[in-house]
Structure 1
Amino acid sequence: MIKFFLMVNKQGQTRLSRYYEHVELHKRTLLEAEVIKNCLSRSKDQCSFIEYKDFKLVYRQYAALFIVVGINETENEMAVYELIHNFVEVLDKYFSRVSELDIMFNLDRVHIILDEMVLNGCIVETNRSRILAPLLVLDKMAET
């Protein structure tokens, strides 16, 4: 099961965070700081899976953004690694060459995409057209 999903830039600023289990606000801040420090300090030659406290971190870097997913021991790391890539591909398709600014100024859309893919910490959809369908409907309604 997925515990949390973070999108962070190289400066360590969180651009997106979604938690799938309750974590108190001040603990979230500490957790994010430690997780970000662990991921940013690793070289590109090191593995993208980290054992951290009582769960695992799976991360992937895209240009200036890191996507970090916290998972429990039973979740498949490679499946989550591919989920991250699929998430970025969906963002790329929707925003046509997604950037950090797209994420910052369209955070609601990014959350909708993530919610279509992950529900209560479980991966529920991977088909790009099905993931984007609700957003395309919203976009059409906004045009009229």
Structure 2
Amino acid sequence: MIKFFLIVNKQGQTRLSRYYDRVEVQKRTLLESEVIKLCLSRAKDQCSFIDYKDFKLVYRQYAALFIVVGIDESEIMFNLDKVHIILDEMVLNGCAVETNKSRILAPLLVLDKVGDS
């Protein structure tokens, strides 16, 4: 299960946060600061999966933004390559460039057609 979703800049400021479990505001602030420190301190060649307390952090850097997802142990992400394609269609150099669902999914449909033939 996804616990939270964060978008954070390189300066450590949270730009967007969405929690799917009830978390008090004080705990959110502490959680976000710890998560941000962990992600910002990692080298680019290190794995994008971090064990943190009772869940895992999965993050990806796009230009000056870090997208961080907190998941529990039971969450397994399949088709990670498709997730990257979707994010690449939506975000370019840290800016949201596309929000139209059909345009975002168009490259995946092409890949599925090529794979079927």
CA distances 1:72-105 after superposition (whole Å, capped 9, x unpaired): 001114556854652452345xxxx762xx69xx
What is the TM-score normalised by the length of structure 1? 0.61
Q: Which runs of 4+ in 1 moved over 3 A?
A: 77-85
| 1:44 alignment partner in structure 2 | 44
Structure 2 residue runs without a partner (length 5+): 106-117
Equivalent pairs counted in the alignment come to 105
Q: Aligned pair in 2 of structure 1 residues 29, 20: CA closer, same or farther (>3 Å)?
A: same
| 1:58 alignment partner in structure 2 | 58
| Structure 1: distance between partners of 2:67 and 2:85 | 9
Q: CA RMSD in A?
A: 3.0
What is the TM-score normalised by the length of structure 2? 0.74
Q: Aligned pair in 2 of structure 1 residues 44, 91: CA closer, same or farther (>3 Å)?
A: closer
| 1:68 alignment partner in structure 2 | 68
Identity of aligned residues (%): 67
Name the SS of the counterpart of 1:33 in structure 2. helix
More strand by share: 2
Amino acid at match of 2:14: T
CA shift for structure 1 position 31:
0.1
More helix by share: 1
Alignment of 1:1-144 (within 5 A): 1-77=1-77, 83=83, 86-92=86-92, 99=95, 128-129=101-102
Q: Aligned pair in 2 of structure 1 residues 131, 63: CA closer, same or farther (>3 Å)?
A: closer
Amino acid at match of 2:102: S
